[in-house]
Structure 1
Amino acid sequence: MTDIQVQAPHTLRSLQEMLGLSRSAISGLIANGFVQPARGPRNEYRFSFRDVVLLRTAHDLQAADIPTRKILRALQRLKATLPSELPLTGLRITAVGSTIAVRERDSQWEAESGQLLMDFEVAATRGSVAFVEHLQNEDAIPPPSAQTSADAWFAQGEELEPRDIQAAEAAYRKALAMAPDFSDAYLNLGAILCESGRQEEAAALYDAALGQRPDVALLHFNRAVALEDLGRLPEALEGYEQCLRIDSTIGDAHFNAARLHDHLGHRREAIRHFSAYRRLQK
């Protein structure tokens, strides 16, 4: 196997099989410079995993019925306006109605115009952890008292997250002090820790959570994300696999497992998980 085949192991055919993208869509992305595949011994295209991640983003946008031309136009603007050191695949890109929205840390904007957008939820991608869905009616949740139940502290944490993350963290911790097996509180608290760069704390929290609730797939998934951010890749991969043993329908776990298998040189396992991810997107 040549160096090119090691660094860029995916062919055009295997890419189509994994992601379900048409040859013309891939060709359009190449022509516009959004992916720059290498050339193999027979001058064939060879794709790195970074290319796969970018093309997966395009695939997800197509699945949201965004026209290919609009995807290319949005990505072209992104490439022209973002700092060169910021990888395009490190962003969260999703469809909000007919708009392609981009989120990078605390900023979020419309990809084609560059206009800033107000609060919206962004679909999970690599590096994201799963939150339990926020409650929408803020007025329905009274401030908890010392005698309040764990459920009420959890609800208070959800209500506080958009405007006071420290108070939300404290509320989730109070819920867990009352109910040490409260999996949703672990999920939301751990997600807060990860989003604020406290992955070591998050991993320890998820270890404690799994001691109480080893049957919750999303706890394994979120723990794996934290471990991956810490560079503990074999442990992270096992976490994604355990998540899928409990619930094989979690698409992002398949995608993340495929990415790590690919990084570790496990081509067959990577393709198996990519194929499962693709089936779940149909």
Structure 2
Amino acid sequence: MRAQSDGSSIQDDVALWGKQDVSSDKGMKDENFPVGSFLISPAHRPAVHAYYRFARIADDMVDNARLSAEQKVARLTALREVLYGQRKPPAGRADAWSGVILRTVLQERGLPLELAGDLITAFIIDAEKTRYGHWSELLHYCRYSANPVGRFLLMLHGEGEETFGPSDALCTALQIVNHMQDVSSDLKTLNRCYVPLPWLAAEGVTLKDLILARSKPGVRRVLDHMLAHVDALNEEAARLPSLVKDRRMRLEAAVIVALCRRLTERLHRQDLIAERVALTKLDGLRALGWAMRYVR
């Protein structure tokens, strides 16, 4: 058994990381909202790609059905240790080395490692928690799963703290509408549900009602309750574009604000239990057209 510079062994690495990289081939173009779009300056795109790759790998770890909750937490914890320079990644493992790559990117740009470390906190929550009892619990989760993404982009572009509040609102709204889009599939495939359970109970419905062919009236009322909170977040998020100084980042923010609002409107109108509600290319073009008001 050969020891490595950090005291671990090859055998330890195999036990921790597994024999195979569990990362999917899902890319930025497969996401619901723009990631590193053409509006982002080419100078910043490599950093965005490194951040996305790290987050995608961690997400794949926690959603992998072949791993137990304990294995997921151990692997995510190790990935965070790699990010912080506390653990050496095994050779030839792109999933583990994504932490090294991102650490270098963040350090070169003077950005805090917590912008990525907080994501790991969220994924560990996903590994250990499959039900939510209160809206505040969901907001706490979004504090780690979504808000760091917006702050990363803003800090990468040199934006100030005045943008953080509206950005957090936008990222939280994006996360929640994404949960709502996938409410049935998440429950079926991952046994995970982000809808506050007491809200379901108050309307006389259960988790089983979230995987029916269509929404019961009680389910619809619960979803509308969630969307009312998202509407408030969208109102706060609408302030973001006017606060962003970098022109290209301002347009990116405006497009995402418009897309989130558009998806929220669709979720209000359509039955997300009966079908997966999604944005269209036309929605994207309209969002870009709306965002052009922020060209200055």
Structure with more strand by fraction: 1
Structure with more helix by fraction: 2
Fold similarity call, TM over 0.5: no
- Bigger relative CO (Cα 8 Å, ≥ 6 apart): 2
If the length of structure 1 is used for normalisation, what is the TM-score? 0.29
If the length of structure 2 is used for normalisation, what is the TM-score? 0.28
